[in-house]
Amino acid sequence: MKFSCDTRFAFLVLFLFASQSVAVYAGSFHKDVQIHWGDGRGKIRDRDGKLLSLSLDKSSGSGFQSHQEFLYGRAEVQMKLVPGNSAGTVTTFYLKSPGTTWDEIDFEFLGNISGHPYTLHTNVYTKGSGDKEQQFHLWFDPTVNFHTYCITWNPQRIIFTVDGIPIREFKNSESIGVPFPKNQPMRLYASLWEAEHWATRGGLEKTDWSKAPFTAFYRNYNVEGCVWANGKSSCPANSPWFTQKLDKRGEDRVKWAQSKYMVYNYCTDKRRFPRGVPAVCT
């Protein structure tokens, strides 16, 4: 692939911005999470609890969840995805509440056959209703190195960022009737599982189990949030994420990511919404 001078300059600016924006992490997989399924397929790889792997084979996938629940917060981790032929696999990092009318905020990485890009799938559920998908092909290969993925959730908006670059902002539009997750505390989850019936080209590409086990890596996990306990939440003092919003530079980066790398947007899917796309799309 060839890039013009302007394109190379844009990548340099974005790289410098991302380098300045990636935080120093303090979390530990040992103290902050529980590997709650997978029968040994999830493993903490180091003494300090900075590196964790999840694996998938034909018998089972694996996953972990945070010990604490949060009502608003900032959740960040670095991930290196399954390399090679990852068709049919789904690697995730997301927030979710329990129950049948749950809230959820998703990063899901849909695998692909060798030589074809991963699809980054984002979605927001409120009271069990989602249908707010936006999908991207990333501007890098997420299987070669670790990259940073972050969800910022505050009372006014949800911001999805990749390597410090915002790719989506879902604003609180309750004033005009659009539900927003604000009442249900959520845990942080991550998983690697099989979904060959839909994950890759709508299920046309199946999982090649001869390549198993499939393994994804997580490191430098960190969540800062309003911890939910005994029916109420407690927020860290003066946390910038609680009032965070995008400035003009941030809005321009969202436009850049969506204009160049978005491959699906529910806001423009007239076939799916024949009576009209949602009135407010973010």
Q: Give 115-165 pLDDT, tens digit per residue.
A: 999 999 999 999 999 999 999 999 999 999 999 999 999 999 999 999 999
For the stretch 57-114, pLDDT in tens is 999 999 999 999 999 999 999 999 999 999 999 999 999 999 999 999 999 999 999 9
Q: Are strands 51-56 and 157-162 parallel, antiparallel or unpaired?
A: unpaired
What's the CA angle centered on 96, arms 93 and 97, to 5 degrees?
A: 165
Kindly report whether the global pTM for this prediction surpasses the value 0.85: yes
| 174 a catalytic residue | no
Q: Which of 190, 191, 125, 165 is nearest to 261 (CA)?
A: 165
Which domains, from first to last, does the chain contain?
A: 29-281 (2.60.120.200)
Rounded (10°) CA dihedral 238, 169, 124, 153: 0
> Which of the following is catalytic: 69, 76, 108, 196?
108
Catalytic residue among 69, 76, 104, 169: 104
CA angle 175-177-178, nearest 5°? 100
Q: What is the average per-residue pLDDT within 25-37?
A: 90
Does residue 108 have an active-site annotation? Answer: yes
Distance CA 159, CA 168 (A): 6
Mean per-residue pLDDT for 188-215? 95
- Rounded Cα distance between 89 and 86, Å, is 6
CB atoms within 10 A of CB 40: 9
Give the pLDDT confidence score for residue 270 in this predicted structure. 87
Q: What three-state secondary structure class fits 176? A: helix
